[in-house]
Amino acid sequence: MRGRTPRYSLARIKAAFADAARLNRTMSAAEGAEELGMDEQAVVDVIASLTAEDFEKSMPSDRDPAIRQDVYKPVVDSRELYVKFTLDAQGGLLLISFKENEP
């Protein structure tokens, strides 16, 4: 079931991704940022600028429906991005997708 309310607070997301040297992200998210020409600090800056209006949906994980994934679609430099967060095995926030949104 998809939700219209974020599972993870935006304040918690911003706090978890405030340090470019300690980004908790998947290889896919790192590669997506690289394809966009964004380094770690640019990723931090995008996350820091997220607003409630950028929130798209909260959805269940394909692997475990009990785990939620929050999707944001901010517009950066005239490009709509697809930015998705979930929890890792230790309960910390994990950036699992960071790429240009495909229409």
The model's pTM is 0.94
Per-residue model confidence as pLDDT tens digits over 53-62: 999 999 999 8
Per-residue model confidence as pLDDT tens digits over 61-79: 988 888 999 999 999 999 9
Residue type (1 letter), 74: P
Domains in the chain, CATH or no CATH each? 10-100 (3.30.2310.40)
Contacts of 43 (CB under 8 A, 6+ apart): 17, 20, 23, 25, 33, 95, 98
